[in-house]
Structure 1
Amino acid sequence: MTHYFALVHKDAESAYGISFPDLPGCFSAADTQDDIIPNAMEAIELYLDDVPEAPHSRDLEALTADPGIASELAAGAYLIAVPHIANTNKTTRVNITLNKGLLDAIDAEASKRKMTRSGLIAQAAEREILG
């Protein structure tokens, strides 16, 4: 899984502005801090849909050594790591081992939400990966 760093700006009385130093032209906004990561992930996915190959993501040291980014950070912006889970539009059958009680709880919750077991497990895994 790849992570891209996002530069987050926040001015008084404005939304959070989100830009990606390694993805030129990729940007987003969020009204609340809780929306920053999901909105940033969506922006990355839309951006990467339009490019033939995913750009390289610099590490934190390389980004903070960049004078342009350093000046943004000095002005109050901050960096966050945004995970990119590639949407391959392919499903893969897997075999996993779970405690029977946990499996029963998963099945009950999936049924309550009108979901499949696989859908609930995938949703829970994605939420866990995203923090």
Structure 2
Amino acid sequence: MRYIAFIHKEPGSSYGVSFPDVPGCISAGDTLEEAASNAVEALSGHARMIEADGETLPAPRSLDEIVADPALQVDREGAMLTVVPLVRDRGATTRINVSLDLGLLEAIDAAARARGQTRSAFLASAAKREIAE
């Protein structure tokens, strides 16, 4: 699931991120890249809180619906629009079976060791980064 986000930047401030379909979910970052990355974490955490309260996370609208919504006209002014994936942190891991080229597996293991990570942690962080792009 992917949500549209507005990114605003006022002179002398950080980049601010808000989600028109998820009221109250905001984030920020000193760079555009940091703001986008932090937005993924903010959306995940906000979804977890909403669901912990027994409520349902609002469904994301399409870009066309967001752009056509007259109630969002002021929020859209000067905003960059981006798409942010909802990456849920379920708090539980599961074992999977994947097939990789042996050379790629060796490179993954070397990179994981260099970062002080397990193979699983390395693959999970790489997948999260790829999904967030």
Q: Deviations over 1:96-127 (max 9, x none)?
A: 11111111111122222221111111111111
For structure 1, the 5+ residue unaligned runs are none
Counterparts of 1:1-131 in structure 2, within 5 Å, are 2-52=1-51, 53-73=56-76, 75-131=77-133
Q: Deviations over 1:31-90 (max 9, x none)?
A: 1111111211122122112212221111111100101323433x3112111111111111
Q: Deviations over 1:5-30 (max 9, x none)?
A: 11111122222121111111111222
Asked if the contact 2:5/2:17 (under 8 Å) is kept, the reply is: yes
Q: What is the TM-score normalised by the length of structure 1? A: 0.89
Q: 1:6 to 1:54 in 2, by over 3 A?
A: same
Rounded to whole Å, the distance in 2 between the matches of 1:129 and 1:27 is: 20
Aligned-residue sequence identity (percent) comes to 43
Rounded to whole Å, the distance in 1 between the matches of 2:72 and 2:34 is: 23
Rounded to whole Å, the distance in 2 between the matches of 1:130 and 1:20 is: 16
For structure 2, the 5+ residue unaligned runs are none
Question: Number of paired residues?
Answer: 129
Q: Indicate the SS of the match to 1:82.
A: strand
Q: What is the aligned-residue RMSD (CA, Å)?
A: 1.4
Q: What is the TM-score normalised by the length of structure 2? A: 0.88
Q: Indicate the SS of the match to 1:85.
A: coil
The one-letter amino acid of 1:88's match is: R
The one-letter amino acid of 1:9's match is: H
Rounded to whole Å, the distance in 2 between the matches of 1:48 and 1:70 is: 25
